[in-house]
Amino acid sequence: MSNNEGNEGQQLARTGAGNSLTPKAESPDESSKNELAAILGPEMVVRLERTFATDDLYLALRLLIQANTATGCFKSFDPKSLVSYFPAAALASLGVRDGLEALLSVQMVSVHSLAMEFLAAAAKKDQTDAGVELYVNRANKLLRTFTSQMEALKKHRSTGDQHVIVEHVTVQNGGQAVVGTVTLGPNRLQPQHGE
């Protein structure tokens, strides 16, 4: 992607090729939201809302533009065509549930895409040994970042409950064991009786 394409993509985010696609300093009014919905069409609105877990079209479109720009997929300036590219499909597959997940998911898709570009550059037939090492190291750092992002998403999605399943217990002669479910009390030191 050339710098010019990225700048044009940023210009779309600001001007929307004649239509405002991002929020101004103040909250957009209902008529501009309705205009944006009319431009995108009802099917596209539903896809964006589902992909980004928000009914704020300005936020959803801005996140999609960021993902497209960061992954080098900003080839068209028609907002309707943006949803058909890789970032939108990847974001939809992550099953975003809230705003925080939407932000993290855009980062994850962008980091993954850049890591794959570095690996592709390392695999070029005429790549020097130094180039291979450079690109593989960069990809490795990004893939570790991606793994951390996956863990953060998993932690965010979990309820915070931890479960331990004990499959084997050995009881020595004279020892005692409890068979069944043990729930720890509020101080997490003493089992609660009667549960």
Model-wide pTM > 0.75: no
Q: Rounded to whole angstroms, how far apart are CA atoms 124 and 40?
A: 39
Q: Considering only 5-19, 49-63, 121-135, which range has the smallest mean pLDDT?
A: 5-19
CB hemisphere CA count around 84 (13 angstroms) = 8
Per-residue pLDDT at 66: 85
Per the CB < 8 A criterion, the answer to whether 104 and 149 are in contact is: yes
User: Two tokens at 84?
Assistant: 């058909």
Number of H helices, E strands in the chain: 8, 0
DSSP 14-54: HHGGGS--S--SSPPPHHHHHHHHHHH-HHHHHHHHHHHT-
Per-residue pLDDT at 189: 58
Nearest to 152 by CA among 93, 107, 92: 107
Per-residue pLDDT at 126: 95
Average pLDDT, the chain: 77
Q: Is 50 exceeded by the pLDDT of residue 53?
A: yes
Q: Rounded to whole angstroms, how far apart are CA atoms 179 and 183?
A: 12
Per the CB < 8 A criterion, the answer to whether 50 and 92 are in contact is: yes
Q: What angle do CA 16, 22, 25 make, to 5 degrees?
A: 130
